[in-house]
Amino acid sequence: MGIKVLKFGGTSVANSYAMQKAFDIVASNNKDKTIVVLSACSGITDKLISLSETCLQKNSNEYEKILNEIEKHHLKLVFELFWDPDKATTYMKSINFILQSLRQLIEGVRILDELTAKVKAEILSYGEILSTNVFYHYLLFRGFLCFLLDAREIIETDNFHTNAKPNLLKIEQNREKILKIFQNYDLIVTQGFIGSWKKETTLLGRGGSDFSASLFAYSVDADEVQIWTDVDGIMSADPRLIPSAKPIKTITMDEVAELSFFGAKVLHPETVKPAVIKNIPVKVLNTFNTDSLGTTIVSSNSLRNHAPTINSMILLENCYFLKKSLDLNSKNIAYYISLLNDNFDKLLKISFNQNYLYAIAKGEKYTSIDESLTTEDFFVDRVDVLAFFGNNLSKTDSRTIGKLMKIITKHGDKLFNHFYFIVSEKSILLLAEQGEGKLLLQECHSTLFEQ
């Protein structure tokens, strides 16, 4: 019997309907020891952030309003999930105790008139503490023997309370605590996002619950991590732009990192790294469409010898194309890179040879581009960028290259000077005239994935 880690995001525990869907998934996974990692209910962490920001406002009752909204949400969950009134009343006591503890914490902040990072982390942790308590009691109500584990006993971190880094050595050493629980229980329910430093609550920051799931898997050398969310996986394109987009069956962590760098809304690569470095596959699945096979994230080495392939694409509109002639009188390349970084939020690509420096940038930092670029004789133009992602793209097979050349030939009038860049083994950029990107994206997706 193996060990699986199932993580449910905020939308997967947002309300009673979603929690019942999550329950069905957990109940169907009865062949393995299971660690269920939960986020806060959707929207609750934002309310807790607002609560921490408003509780020091002396002449405002806004904090009380937010507290009431948080309380109302979770009590409604209990009433809808536990149709037995006696059971609902019993489980309500546990939830009310947690809510009362939150109120006392907020009152303490107001009395002391101080909100430290330590206390803010404590406040924000209540979202996960509440959702796991509701779900744990619902499992008991439905007849499941399970154990509610405080994640802070396993996920030890440094002392940066609101953006902590995990201590992998201590987390791995804590595996015995989990294995001891598994001697008596097949199912553990615990929190994402939160950890501890010397018994003080800490938060893992961006993608914290995904990170937690990966860390629990790392600790016990799990067989698999399942990230349950509200999409069918990592998609071949943005479904809002390409309704025919399909989930990518298998993707490497390097591809995920590349997608994330270019702005795609995917898992933050660092959050799944602990699992992937132990060759534990991470699956991204849809709580509301369990028939979808989702996407499996694997280590880059596992696909190193696979045939080159393009797996996905994204569109970045309103980017900048920059070009500068280089000669013996030109300044050091480092100077120009620094100049570009001063003007733009992100450099998507920079390359140079003996004659020219080229760059593609996104998002000017100021209302207008600094005159220094003009002074340095940079040619500047606006473009839409199509970014293609996959494996071994510098060795892309002739069939795929042929499809790309077909697009370039057919839609040359939409392209920006027929420019394209191989950024890395994982991505290729194709430049389109500003405003032509969406039509070209549709054509590219149809040619590459639908023909």
Q: How many domains does the chain have?
A: 2
Is the four-CA dihedral 243, 26, 173, 302 of positive or negative sign?
negative
8, 6, 27, 7: which is closest to 18 by C-alpha? 8
Residues 221 and 313 in one domain: no
Q: Which domain holds residue 13?
A: 3-230
> Residue 283 pairs with which residues in a beta bridge?
226, 296
Residues 65 and 183 in one domain: yes
The answer to whether position 205 is within a domain reads: yes
The answer to whether position 212 is within a domain reads: yes
Residues 222 and 329 in one domain: no
Q: Tell me what pLDDT residue 60 has.
A: 77
What pTM value is reported for the model?
0.89
Each as own residue / partner, the long-range contacts of residues 327-336 (CB below 8 Å, 24 or more positions apart, any chain) are 331/376, 333/357, 336/376
Residues 89 and 210 in one domain: yes
DSSP collapsed to 3 states, the chain: CCEEEEEECHHHHCCHHHHHHHHHHHHHCCCCEEEEEECCCCCHHHHHHHHHHHCCCCCCCHHHHHHHHHHHHHHHHHHHHCCCHHHHHHHHHHHHHHHHHHHHHHHHHHHHCCCCHHHHHHHHCHHHHHHHHHHHHHHHHCCCCCEECCHHHCCEECCCCCCCCECHHHHHHCHHHHHHHHCCCCEEEEECCEEEECCEEEECCCCHHHHHHHHHHHHHCCCEEEEEECCCCCECCCCCCCCCCCECCEEEHHHHHHHHHCCCCCCCHHHHHHHHCCCCCEEEEECCCCCCCCEEEECHHHHCCCCCEEEEEEEEEEEEEEEEECCCCCCCHHHHHHHHHHHEEEEEEEEECCCEEEEEEEEECCCCCCHHHHHCCCEEEEEEEEEEEEECHHHCCHHHHHHHHHHHHHCHHHEEEEEEEEEECCEEEEEEECCCHHHHHHHHHHHHHCC
333, 431, 336: which is closest to 383 by C-alpha? 431
Q: Tell me what pLDDT residue 423 has.
A: 63
Residues 331 and 433 in one domain: yes
Is 227:242 a contact under the CB 8 Å cutoff? no
Distance CA 170, CA 226 (A): 23
User: Could you tell me the CATH number of the domain that includes residue 338?
Assistant: 3.30.2130.10
Residues 165 and 27 in one domain: yes
Residues 319 and 200 in one domain: no
128, 129, 123: which is closest to 39 by C-alpha? 128
Of 172, 204, 230, at which residue does a domain stop? Answer: 230
The answer to whether position 183 is within a domain reads: yes
The answer to whether position 260 is within a domain reads: no
| pLDDT in 10s for each residue of the chain, 451 residues | 699 999 999 999 999 999 999 999 999 987 889 999 999 999 999 999 999 999 988 777 899 999 999 999 999 999 899 877 777 788 888 899 999 999 999 999 999 999 999 999 999 999 999 999 999 999 999 999 999 999 999 999 999 999 999 999 999 999 999 999 999 999 999 999 999 999 999 999 867 899 999 999 999 999 999 999 999 999 999 999 999 999 999 998 888 888 888 888 878 888 888 998 899 999 999 999 999 999 999 887 776 666 667 889 999 999 999 999 998 888 888 999 999 998 899 998 888 888 899 999 998 887 667 677 878 889 989 999 999 888 777 666 666 667 777 777 777 777 787 666 666 778 888 888 999 999 889 988 988 887 6
Residues 224 and 337 in one domain: no
The answer to whether position 157 is within a domain reads: yes
Distance CA 236, CA 246 (A): 5
Q: Tell me what pLDDT residue 269 has.
A: 82
The answer to whether position 278 is within a domain reads: no
Residues 38 and 145 in one domain: yes
The answer to whether position 320 is within a domain reads: yes
Of 215, 230, 245, at which residue does a domain stop? Answer: 230
User: Could you tell me the CATH number of the domain that includes residue 138?
Assistant: 3.40.1160.10
Distance CA 99, CA 400 (A): 57
Residues 211 and 352 in one domain: no
Of 230, 251, 274, at which residue does a domain stop? Answer: 230
Residue 137 token pair? 């009691």
